[in-house]
Structure 1
């Protein structure tokens, strides 16, 4: 029986996940900014009241704040932590303008902004590459070793020994491909291409839906075909191939994120599945109870998530800045200050609405609303 972590472990685990990842993300902006000759006026881990800070010899104020839910690098010429351009930068001296962010060429500004998400992906790839080198790569063939009676696979007429060539038009190279495809599609119809005794044929089926408990009291629906693999095949991974395996796994994780987001927007999944900082804190503590490897793997997942979310084309996020730079590259002039201000206000409203939604979902998953309704009733 897995026990839920206590509050102290949950809090420590959350800080241990978010703190380093925010630092890594902002360090990407900072390092590329320095490489481009931009002065960083402040480097902050967290928001809100300052806990402690120091100023380095370059004049950058390094600060740690009370709310470890993000961070920022404020470059010279930025008006605020969201990197909105300060109109007063044009009034600076020539020397100050030369080391300000708005004065840099478009490609340099884009590189500085993209560096944050990029380093989150690189950080995760480093972790996953280490895991691949240590544990090897699962290459179990996409062949049904066992077909569970009464399962979705059995209903579709699959038999032991069948090789699953594709599901929903997607090639299945390994048994892990089958699992990853099915688990986010509970109850969905699926077109199957099967190879049996050297002959290939198509079958229409439906992915089964099962309710699982993660051991911490959380239940969720997950897709299952009802297949079990044959003998597992784990191939050793060389030091040179480890990054390749890690990049492939990162790509699979990002594709899963995109597909699940698409399901939420299309109505295939409930918005209640969206989680926020409280949920991350809870799962951080849970991952910590499962051992150091599970915790480190969770850090890699959150790092990928952080990089992906920041690339969304929402003003206030890195992706929003990159969108503006893309428009600037096309029209050969910056987006007007009025349009940017409107976009930033809209982006802030979207982010605040999303934060309220995921916080509501988090509290619901903790049973708060049910407890309150019980007290009121």
Structure 2
């Protein structure tokens, strides 16, 4: 072999190594693409906007600290207009864009439809939706950032029967996947108790006038009322209850006492009690830090939906780091049974664990609205996983 030939081989080898190095550097710089498919207009605008802002705040923080495995995160936000059909179409669009994960929709009726698309594409999908049927269909790619109704409603029932000592209950609920799911879960949880539902009142999604529904509840002479509708409707129900002079316990779940609901309902929200999975008023250092950062960024106080979006991105980060590579299928598999502590991942806000269905388990809170603010009156432990 001549000196010239050896030189050419060496030059080729060096060139190949340089090319490979450049390729690896470019690959490492490739972003992790997320799709934020949420309700920015329509009945879900409050929930979707808060969720979106929470996702974007988490992404901003993670990127500022070096990203995930050296990759920055990029998110594209799309508006479902609170329409399940549009949500499905936007999810298909996100799949075409080869996103790594999808966040949203928040509304249960939309995620039930759109998650079939992410399942087929084997893309992890995080949702703030609470309807029980979201995670009962055996979808290995769906993960909640909120409690399922199956875990939340037994806590609500316990408060109604053992703390408030309510013997007869009126229920106002929304006639959609979210409302009917919560309605059925609460009835099941109340069944063994002495509390009986004596007024079962269904309302339409987006309903504006609740005078007839509240009048029916009053006429039942129930000891208390349980309200389970979306945020905008919750404020209207609270105002109508005050207008008609309701002076008995008003009980609900997360959507009844969100900050936006309190702002819209004004004094009518005072006295309402609800079980919440997340609240920015919790006596928790990580949550208080989130509240301050969110308010600084967006100039208003986040509700639970902002916390759901924010913590969900950190859950994804934890799963990717556990797997050690950008593999969507492996990340989804790792999320099942994953336990994440705030000691190692403060952005999850509270210690959390996921079961094989994609449902989460963590502490939660009972809050009461006092002087226009949520006040935590009880910290409720994780749901027992013992058989």
* Band the TM-score falls in, shorter-chain normalisation: under 0.3
TM-score normalised per structure 2: 0.23
TM-score normalized by structure 1?
Answer: 0.23
